[in-house]
Amino acid sequence: MKEEYSIFKKFPTLEQASELKELLNEHGIESLIDDNVPPVDITFSGSTIQNEYEIRIKQSDFKRAEEILEKSAENLIDQIDKDYYLFEFTNEELYEILLKSDEWSAFDYTLAQKLLKQRGKSVDKDLLDSLKNERLKDLAKPEGNQRPWIIAGYAFAILGGFLGLLIGYSLWTSKKTLPNGQKVYSYAANDRAHGKYIFFIGLIITPTAIILKAIGQF
């Protein structure tokens, strides 16, 4: 079975995405660039539509790709100006970068480690692995209560609206990609069960409503 490609990094410009693709290719890691421009945002977590360029790689390559980025960042650290904003960060803020490494660049992540070590703080592989595991557990948690969308989904599905199908399908099947490439369901099992019921109710009622509407026009 061919291994699926998962989102590794996102960039606001094609140039930035292409630079990373070239770096990965130099180290023998196959990658793809996707232009993420969804026509409709049907996730319900409050996100907004943004034009982003995604670098996708195989999940089995995630760890090595992270190591390549960190190594590349190490080569640039000695060239950084001392007025770089991370030099003003407190120790707590630097540890926050280590915890939420997925929200920061590889350069900032690597520099945060160096600054903490220079300040006499303990930063070792065990700590970094522990922080990454803690972050993965937190990000893997399902999104909050989807009750308003569940109610809306049932209402639209029963009324024969196509939006009911979309809401149901999204609640039922939506997944998110964790920083290690693993994909998990976005919503809790109970919410996904409602999504499945909404989808099939809409699947039955929507075509019937369309047919009845068409007959009524004759």
Q: Are 101 and 179 in contact (CB under 8 A)?
A: yes
Q: Tokens in use for 159?
A: 């009324």
Q: For residues 138 and 140, give the distance between their C-alpha atoms in angstroms, rounded to a whole number.
A: 5
Which amino acid belongs to residue 93? Answer: E
Query: On the CB side of 110, how many CA atoms lie within 13 Å of its CA?
Result: 17
- CA-based torsion, 186, 191, 193, 197: positive or negative: negative
Report residue 195: phi and psi, to 5°: -60, -40
Segments making up each domain of the chain, as ranges = 1-61, 80-140, 147-216
**pLDDT tens track of the chain, all 218 residues?**
456 888 899 888 889 899 999 999 999 999 999 876 554 444 444 444 456 889 999 989 999 999 999 888 888 887 888 889 999 999 999 999 999 999 998 999 999 999 999 999 989 999 999 999 999 999 999 998 899 999 999 999 998 778 999 999 999 999 999 998 899 999 999 999 999 999 999 998 877 766 766 676 55
Taking the whole predicted model, whether its pTM rises above 0.75 is answered as: no
